A and B are shown apart, each in its own frame.
Chain A
């Protein structure tokens, strides 16, 4: 059974709780960016990607490349949920000899590439997408970029190549939370207007709410034959889901105190309870109960 939007919301709240749990446990992590891209990952792994523990080695699988590698905790939590490993592994996050370090590595089942240096993922995605075209494969390549990351010039080398090679099997998703470690992206190094930049590089562009499941599903789930790569500028809120973390730069890699953790969990628990109630009512309305 495919998940309803409400069920995805429940999943996302659960992911956010785990992200905070394991970051707090490790005493390290990239909290704000993990929370801003959670809904994107929820939709990708639960609705869009043909990636599972069974298909992960298949040459026909979709590829997800997390160029903004620092939001590793979001990816780790989602991959655990998808059965790539026992969630207990995340208790070792950032510990001595753990594979679950602060950025994705291929030692973690389900991870495609070792990322963490910014401005690398889009080039890798271009190469993978070219290989797909050469082999007449139907797989698609999704690259998640941070908005601050776009200051790395290598992204634009890759953007140029993507349209040159007409890679409509390549989708770049910008987690456009408008913040980076030092503050507002527009104050650190303005990269707006992003849509016009990608268009000028020969891309199709979609600007969407990066927390809207139907919109994410429609935008990411539709296979395209336009002859152009697609940039999805997903407007998100850094720290999404926890009131005092939302849109605050210091939560880029802030770790909650005990008190802050309790407050965050209380907020997410309340949101979960409300969403679960709504989900139940929706099932009743649909005649399932």
Chain B
């Protein structure tokens, strides 16, 4: 995932490698479920992929298996939620957000059944398995649906906080993350709230706005540009795509000379276009580059290969930023 140069920069920042967000999700959910028997995990033959084996062993009455049937997964989750259960429907993001899209729209969002939809192995986490297993449309699809919050945590802290908040959140949620180990980005006891972006470092030359697993690459690019070019770069973790923290984006657009967005998602309908829409509608004419997966047959390879290929890397994001400053 990281070039030798990027690893060196990470070391210089004192960053430590954490666990996979997937693992943190599973242990966080289990520790909450042990204290609250109304918390249920609903799976579509996905307990293994969701690292929920220990959950199922410890709390067999709190896992509902529906088999390989994502439409039923979401419908059943909606029914459970309507009867007072605190439901986490766990399935690979690619299937959950496409196969069951109408159930998400009607039975969860429209009917306001407070299900938490957990999209595991999101984006190109299953890179080498091909496009069937990629979810590069999910944020765009769900942004266009009323009454569901969309959260893409960047590291273990954001994941733990998002899952903890989701239990009693007043709206359905879609929380998507990957399965690779990620660097820890926050100090202990850092805050977190849905809808409030985190400014991980301040700066005025370039604002990097990332979401999910791209945020670390933004941070490394910011440090790299500081070390090599003396640039001052702001780094924002936009962990919540809906509701969208417009204010933080506008501040970045007004206070920085250029804005670079980074997402593990198609460049259509995701973080970048949300930033563009916010900036333009406020009359903030920032120089903007949206880095994500372009509208083409997605390159083959592992998640790291796909990231590197499309410039979701320290090097790629640094290049995008310096091009804007020319």
Contact = CB atoms under 8 A, between A and B. Distances in A.
Interface size class of B (residues with CB under 8 A): 20 to 34
Nearest to B83: A131
A145 interface: no
A153 B99 CA distance: 12
Contacts of B79: 123-131
Interface string B54-71: 000000010010110101
A130 B80 contact: yes
Interface stretch (B100-108, B191-199, B279-287): B100-108
B40 to A, nearest CB: 8
B167 interface: no
Contact of B80 (A106, A113, A127): A127
B255 interface: no
Interface in A92-133: 105-106, 112-117, 119-120, 122-132
Contacts of B69: 157, 160-161
B76 A113 contact: no
Contacts of B103: 120, 123, 154
Contacts of A116: 106
Contacts of A160: 67, 69, 72
A158 interface: yes
Contact of B77 (A119, A127, A134, A135): A127
Interface string B97-119: 00000110111001111000000
Nearest to B44: A157
B106 A123 contact: no
Contact of A113 (B72, B82, B84, B102): B82
B78 interface: yes
B72 A106 contact: no
B75 interface: yes
B308 interface: no
A117 B66 contact: no
A128 B106 contact: no
B72 A154 contact: yes
B85 interface: yes
B106 A127 contact: no
A123 B75 contact: yes
Contact of A124 (B78, B102, B112): B78
A164 B105 CA distance: 26
- Among A116, A119, A127, A161: residue with most chain B CB under 10 A: A127
Contacts of B83: 59, 127-128, 131-132, 135
Nearest to A152: B71
A124 B82 contact: yes
Given A59-B84, A106-B111, A127 B71 contact: no
Contacts of B72: 123, 126, 154, 157-158, 160-161
Nearest to B111: A114
Contacts of A157: 66-67, 69, 71-72
Contacts of B74: 123
Interface in A135-185: 135, 153-154, 157-158, 160-161, 164
Nearest to A59: B84
B67 A113 contact: no
Nearest to A113: B111
A99 B78 CA distance: 22
A131 B82 CA distance: 9
Interface of B: 61, 64, 66-67, 69, 71-72, 74-85, 102-103, 105-107, 110-113
Interface of A: 59, 63, 105-106, 112-117, 119-120, 122-132, 134-135, 153-154, 157-158, 160-161, 164
Given A117-B102, A130-B80, A135-B83, 8 more contacts: A123-B103, A123-B107, A124-B107, A127-B76, A127-B81, A131-B84, A161-B72, A164-B67
26 contacts: A59-B84, A112-B82, A113-B107, A113-B111, A113-B113, A116-B106, A117-B102, A120-B107, A123-B72, A123-B107, A126-B72, A126-B76, A128-B80, A131-B85, A134-B61, A135-B83, A154-B71, A154-B72, A157-B66, A158-B72, A158-B75, A158-B76, A160-B69, A161-B66, A161-B69, A164-B67
